[in-house]
Structure formats: structure tokens, C-alpha cells
Amino acid sequence: MNRTAIEPLRHAVRHLVTAVSSAALYSFDHPQVSRLRGAALDSLTAALEAEPDISLVIIGDELLAGDFPLDTGLYVGRFVEMMRARGIGHVKFLRGVTAGELAALAAALAGGRTEEEIRSTVHIRFGRVEVRFSLAGKEGEEDPLADFTAEEVARVTEIYEGVARNRKLHAAGIADMVGGFIIALRDQARPLMALAPLRDMDEYTFAHSVNVCILNLAQAMSLGINGPLLQEIGIAGLLHDIGKMFVPREILTKPAQLTDAEWRIMRRHPHQGARCLIETPGIPHLAAVVTFEHHMKHDFSGYPAVPPGWRQSLASEMTSISDFFDALRTRRSYCDSMELRQIAGMLLDRRGRELHPLLTRNFLLILSRMMA
Ligand SMILES: [Fe+2]
Ligand SMILES: [Fe+2]
């Protein structure tokens, strides 16, 4: 991000927020409001002279221009509030923004329009992080996997089934697929995340792996993580249960509670998965770490047991939260899917003990935005 763009950008945000507030007092066509909109356009145009496109991303209460945080002053705070109220996580301005486009943005922000009514234009693009839930098994419901291409479904199934058959994982295509999810999460204007419910056992592997991958990406993105680390955290989510392919199918698909002996076999999957990933060229080391640690729990009350002083990766703790959430949300054969509020209560309950306190808080914030 070119630093010379920052100052005019700050002015643009200030003028835009003032124009929106003034429109509430006067009318949208009032000369005072038009003047402020003109000033916002001039400042934005000046910023876009230094940088051909500028992305403003909301993370918590902060507004980042590229990787540069704008001051959390009154105007920036108000702007963040307005955008968030409309479910907008980021906005990208491209060189060439017109007075009409900026007026439409100001009108949308002033008019309390719903997020569906705010549309991207040629030079102003909005990005949202939204989650769409489907309830399993309801008559006449659209296919929850419809948002994924047949190729993606086939690829994830193939990854897991390939391991089940040959005990070998092939890394080809995994990074590209996660990259595709990241782009979809960033750029798609329509609801982005189809968290797929479990409908039958054959779909479980696909649905759960993709859900954990996407929930990991949502958590990491909301914390401002991007680039190769974001991709690795997504890959780790996608592959975290790869060790289950070493567990006999009768145990994996048993509709009743497992016996102690069966649990002992089941509890080997983190270790077996991590070993498989370490042996696979092209898989990030972090994915093996996360696979090994994803049932460990924040207070180490889970498994496998590790020596005192062990430090879990934050990516593993993120994955535990995604995994916990999706396991409850997804209908298994022996327990119905739970309502989001009930799951939120259970997350809150475990916060600071089994689940990382700050990451859980952040996840609950993501969840509350989904439920709003
Ligand atoms: Fe697992
Ligand atoms: Fe899992």
C-alpha cells in the first residue's frame, strides 16, 4: 500500500461519513450533502492516483487500508459501524470511481438499506463474509452441496478415499482448491459459505472436511491472516481428519456409541493422520501439526497426551473450535443437529478450558454476525 494514499483516504472516509450523517439531518440533495459527497470523491480520486485499487478491510473495530490500519477515530469508527451493520466485511475502490457510484454508496449507507440492496459497481466492490446454513433432510430444500462444483466434491472425496484405499495421499490440487475457497470467501457477492449438513455417511467426510476448512478460513481471515499462512490453515482444516481413513469403516460409521476398545482405535486418528501428512511431499508442515493436535484441547484434557510444557499451535486451537462447532451442527446418526444459540452456549461454556478463550470469543463474534 502506497503511504501517500493514506491521507487522502482518511479525508475520503471523513467526508463520506459526514455526508451520510448530514443526509439524515437534511435531505440527500441538500447542497451541504452534495458538497461533502464531492469532497469525498476528490479525496478518493487523489488516493487512487497513488494506488490503482484500494481495499478497506474491517477486522474487529479496526479498518485496514491494505495492511495499514487507519486511525480508529470518530469517523473511521462510524464508517466501520455502518459497513458492519450491512454485513460488509470489505470494500474495494478501483481507479475511476464516479460521482454516481459514490452517491449510490452514500445513499445506501444513509438509507439503512439491507445488505442485499447494496450492490457492487464497476469501481466499488463489496465483500461479505456470510454463512448460510442448511438444515439437514428437510423436504424440498435445495441441495446444500450445490455451492460446490462437482469437481470439488469429487476431489475431496478422492483425497480421503485414496488414503483409505492405498494409505497414500497425493498433494496435487489441494492447495489450489483451498485457494479457490479463499477467493470465493473474499470475492463472491452472494452468500459464500454453504456449511453442508450430514445427510448420509458417504457425504460426511466431504461435508465435515470442507466445513472445517471454511470455518478455519473465516476465523483466520477475521483475524487479518492472509497469504501462505491463510492457505496453510485452510489446508490443515481440510485434512485434519485424514487419519480417520485408517480407522475401520464399521467403527467410523457405527450409528451407536463406541465401545472402549473402539474408542481406543478411534483415538489413534490424529497420530495416524499426522504421520501420513508428514510422509506426503508438498503438504505444509502446519497441516501435520494441526492433524496431530486437533483433539488435544486447550487445557490438554483431550488426546493424544503430550509431555508437560507442550505448546499447541494456534492453528490447531482454531481447528478444534471449527471441528467442535461442525460436529455439533452437523446431524450425526445418533444426535440431531443443534440450534446455533445452543451451540454458542456450549462454546461459551468451554471457553478458557477446552477451547482457547480469545479464539472462542472471536468465533462467537463471527457466529453472532451470522445469527443477526
Ligand atoms: Fe478428528
Ligand atoms: Fe473432525
Provide the grid cell at 176: 489450489
Give the C-alpha separation, 250 to 54, whole Å.
53
| Residues 21-30: tens digit of each pLDDT | 888 777 778 8
88 vs 264 pLDDT, higher one: 264
E-only strand ranges, the chain = 53-59, 62-65, 68-69, 90-94, 124-127, 131-133, 193-195
User: Which among 61, 343, 81 is positioned nearest to 195, based on CA atoms?
Assistant: 343
What's the pLDDT tens digit per position in 195-242? 443 333 345 666 788 888 888 988 998 888 888 999 999 999 989 998
Highest mean pLDDT among 25-34, 51-60, 210-219, 293-302: 293-302
The stretch 181-194 carries a mean pLDDT of 53
- How many angstroms is it from 160 CA to the middle of ligand 1? 13
With beta carbons less than 8 A apart as the criterion, state whether 106 and 23 touch. Answer: yes
User: 340 CA to middle of ligand 1, Å?
Assistant: 21
Rounded to the nearest angstrom, the distance between the alpha carbon of 110 and the centre of ligand 1 is 47
User: Ligand 2 centroid to 282 CA: how many Å?
Assistant: 22
State pLDDT tens for residues 31-43: 888 999 999 999 9
Asked if pLDDT for residue 144 goes beyond 70, the answer is no
Q: How many angstroms separate the Cα of 92 from the Cα of each of 120, 125, 258?
A: 9, 5, 51
How much is the average pLDDT of 142-153? 45
For the four alpha carbons of 199, 181, 354 and 315, in that order, the dihedral sign comes to: positive
The DSSP result for 244-301, as a single string, is GGGS-HHHHT-SSPPPHHHHHHHTTHHHHHHHHHHTSTTS-HHHHHHHHHTTS-TTS-
Instruction: Report d(CA 113, CA 103) in Å as an integer.
Output: 14
Neighbours of ion ligand 2 (CB under 5 A): 241, 323
* 195: phi then psi, degrees, rounded to nearest 5: -80, 115
pLDDT at position 165 is 66
Calculate mean pLDDT across residues 179-194.
Answer: 56
- Which is it for strands 53-59 and 131-133: parallel, antiparallel or unpaired? unpaired
CA 206 to centroid of ligand 1, rounded, Å: 13
Name all domains of the chain by residue range, CATH numbers in brackets.
3-127 (no CATH), 148-371 (1.10.3210.10)
Angle, CA of 14, 365 and 181, to the nearest 5°: 90
pLDDT of residue 194: 41
* Å from CA of 236 to ligand 2 middle: 11
Kindly report the pTM of this predicted structure: 0.57
| Whether residue 123 has pLDDT greater than 70 | yes
Buried b / exposed e along 135-173 (16+ C-beta atoms within 10 A):
ebeeeeeeebbebbeeebbebbeebbeebeeeeebebee
pLDDT > 80? residue 160: no
Q: Residue 216 C-alpha to ligand 1 middle, in angstroms? A: 14
Closest CA to 291 of 314, 274, 303, 277: 274
**Ligand 2 centroid vs 272 CA: distance in angstroms?**
14
Residue 276: which of 177, 162, 176 has the closest Cα? Answer: 162
